[in-house]
Amino acid sequence: MAEAVQHLTKDPSEMDTLEVIYTRRSIRKYRDIPVEWDKVGKILEAGRAAPSAGNIQAWKFVVITDPAKIRMLAEAALQQYWMGSAKVHIIVVSQFEKHRRFYGVRGERLYAIQDCAAACQNMLLAAHYLGLGACWVGAFDEDGVKRAVMMPEQARPQAIITLGYADEEPPVPTKYKLEQVTMIERWKMGQQIKDIAITMGYPSLKVGKYIEKTKEFIGNLHDKIAKRDKK
């Protein structure tokens, strides 16, 4: 799996779905280049296509390009002034009253967040596919964000997505191995999967391991024969 998460130098539009997922990075430095509106539209469409509880789609997307409003958002986001270099901000908003009406307290406190999170991830992946950098910002003063765009009381900002052309290439972040975060059939803390390739049925990984073991065996056999011939 290690090779799958390496940064790819090919054109992002040539990547398949898993490559887009593995190579996406959170970008906090942007070039001073305008973002094409057709790309913004495609990113919004990706967010709109996300799943939602009961398909109620109780979200709104507020697109911000005004530098003054972007500065206000950066200030509201606990003074994360790096956000000011992003040419476009998208505020992902939940209409929690709709969730409450259909699903009660659980809808308001959980489904509203989950639905917007799904939309955010779709937009991040779409941005990367389109050759743009993006970052999911969740730390902010909600009232400050609402004031910046005159958001009504019954709406709640869940996230801000910054968009622009990346001016950095963040390294591959450290991730836990799959066997460290995966359990089969029941909760078994402290009992890691011994062989993830066999358990999950990864043919290529299993074949690779067998090839390495075969090479090791042949190498050891060669050494033994060589030592024997010297005697």
DSSP string, 8-47: P-S-GGG--HHHHHHH--B---B-S-PPPHHHHHHHHHHH
Which residue bears the tokens 């990706």? 46
Judge if 134 and 207 occupy the same domain. no
Statement to judge: residues 14 and 80 lie in one domain? yes
The rounded Cα 46 to chain-centroid distance in angstroms is 13
| 78, 84, 88, 94: CA torsion to nearest 10 | 10
Q: CA torsion angle for 177, 183, 187, 189 (degrees, to 10)?
A: -30
Do 64 and 134 sit in the same domain of this protein? yes
Given this model, what pLDDT does residue 70 score? 98
Same domain, 104 and 150: yes
Which residue from 81, 47, 57, 55 is spatially nearest to 159, judged by alpha carbons? 47
Number of domains in the chain: 2
Q: For residue 30, what are the β-bridge partners?
A: 166
What per-residue confidence (pLDDT) applies to 230? Answer: 64
Which of 134, 164, 194 is at the close of a domain?
164
Instruction: Looking at the structure, tell me whether residues 13 and 118 fall in a common domain.
Output: yes
- Domain assignment present for residue 170? The answer is no
183 and 205 in a single domain? The answer is yes
For 107, how many CA atoms within 13 A lie in the half-sphere containing its CB?
Answer: 17
Domain's final residue, options 114, 134, 164: 164
| Tens-digit pLDDT string for the chain (231 aa) | 333 333 444 565 567 899 999 999 999 999 999 999 999 999 999 999 999 999 999 999 999 999 999 999 999 999 999 999 999 999 999 998 999 999 999 999 999 999 999 999 999 999 999 999 999 999 999 999 999 999 999 999 999 999 999 999 999 999 988 888 888 888 877 666 777 777 677 666 555 555 566 666 666 766 666 666 665
Distance of CA 90 to the CA centre of its chain: 16
- CA 140, CA 74: separation in Å to the nearest integer? 8
Domain of 154, in residue numbers: 2-164
Helix (H) or strand (E) holding 83: none
Q: In terms of domains, do 138 and 194 share one?
A: no
117 in a structural domain: yes
Cα-Cα end-to-end distance for the chain: 44
Looking at the domain assignment, is residue 102 inside a domain? yes
pTM to 2 decimal places: 0.80
Of 132, 164, 196, the domain-final residue = 164
